[in-house]
Structure 1
Amino acid sequence: MSDLTKRLQAVKLFAMDVDGILSDGQIIYDANGIETKAFYVQDGVGLKALKEQGIILAIITGRNSPMVARRADELGIDHVVQGRDDKFTALSALADELGLSVGECMYMGDDLPDLKAVREAGVGVSVPNGCAETQAVADIVTTKSGGHGAVREVCEQLLKAKGAYDAFIAQYI
């Protein structure tokens, strides 16, 4: 068993950024100046599967957006931290609050504010459309881009490491 697989098996908290991870990173305003976001539906199915396996889900984002709160509510993400660019500090505080070590956390991010959290988490993840510096410190760089199935890809990898992937698929057969 690889070191990465052992670290994946130890994950109890999956925290992620939003822009560039759950969305494609674009910020779009409508004619009234209201920010909108598009979320990839398959990511949501993967996140719900993790929650069913007892993985704690969290969002840590630098922006404040009602769309993020709404999507988190739809997916049952209980921990939503908005308006924080100090992602590692926020991740550490959340881990402490939950009685976890940072080593039991997976963090997924794409840009410089995410770099330390990606580097210091038990498993750090980035995306191919992420900045080079964050990709360089990540344990995993997904094949799919943020907002286009990257989160689902990681969910499936985590489910496989924990031996829960076949049961996840079986419920749809």
Structure 2
Amino acid sequence: MTTTQTTPARNAATATDWAKIRLFAMDVDGVLTDGTVQIASDGTEAKVFSILDGMGLVRLARAGITTAWISGRPSEATTRRARELGIPHLIQGRTDKLAALSELAARLRLSPEHCAYMGDDDIDAPAISWAGVGIAAPEAMPSALDAANYVPARAAGRGAVREVCEHILGAHRGTEAAAVKQ
């Protein structure tokens, strides 16, 4: 018996979907990083974050799009990077990503269609499904890939988040241009 693995549509999210986004939330390990955590013998932790991704998040903030990081594990490296980038919502130690995301959206008075969420693991799949634009990292677990309506071409920790940021920014520019023409 042969089994076939279904590959989600790489770009099932439309320009209209992207234009509705007001909050882009994401997991950290396996999304903003390649999923590798280095722990030295003294217990200090190191992660590698992409400058491309960071610049995309800064550009979103300048455009008025709120960003949030939701991580299942607390990390000083994550806290430092979030602070550097001015990420307004950093939620760590929450493995129920859907609860964390929906609570944040409620506080911000946003419905699911105004939220994008990017993850890579089983615990991210419900949040990916809930969001108006659900995104899975290309290397994600099958449950996350199945839940997603967008999978970036770039790898996690190597520009995948920037690719998503550019979709959001491009759709918002298109909306602004259409409003000016009217």
Report the TM-score when normalising by structure 1. Answer: 0.91
Matched, 1:60 2:70: yes
Matched, 1:85 2:95: yes
Instruction: List aligned pairs for 1:1-173, cutoff 5 A.
Output: 4-163=14-173
Instruction: Specify the alignment match of 1:167 in structure 2.
Output: none
- Mark the runs of 5 or more structure 2 residues left unpaired by the alignment: 1-11, 175-182
Q: Report deviation, 1:31.
A: 2.1
Instruction: Specify the alignment match of 1:169 in structure 2.
Output: none
* Separation of aligned partners in 2, 1:141 and 1:99: 27
* Separation of aligned partners in 1, 2:104 and 2:135: 18
**SS of structure 1 residue aligned to 2:135:** strand
**SS of structure 1 residue aligned to 2:134:** strand
Counterpart residue identity of residue 131, structure 1: M
**SS of structure 1 residue aligned to 2:41:** coil
- Give the % identical residues: 45
* Separation of aligned partners in 2, 1:59 and 1:128: 18
Q: Report deviation, 1:3.
A: 6.3
Report the TM-score when normalising by structure 2. Answer: 0.86
Q: Report deviation, 1:80.
A: 0.4
Q: Relative to structure 2, which stretch is displaced further, 30-39 or 87-96?
A: 30-39
C-alpha RMSD of matched pairs (Å): 1.2
In 1, are the aligned partners of 2:13 and 2:133 still within 8 Å (CA)?
Answer: no
- Mark the runs of 5 or more structure 1 residues left unpaired by the alignment: 165-173
Cα 1:102–1:41 shift into 2, 3 Å: same
* Separation of aligned partners in 1, 2:166 and 2:15: 13
Q: Report deviation, 1:124.
A: 0.5
Instruction: Specify the alignment match of 1:170 in structure 2.
Output: none
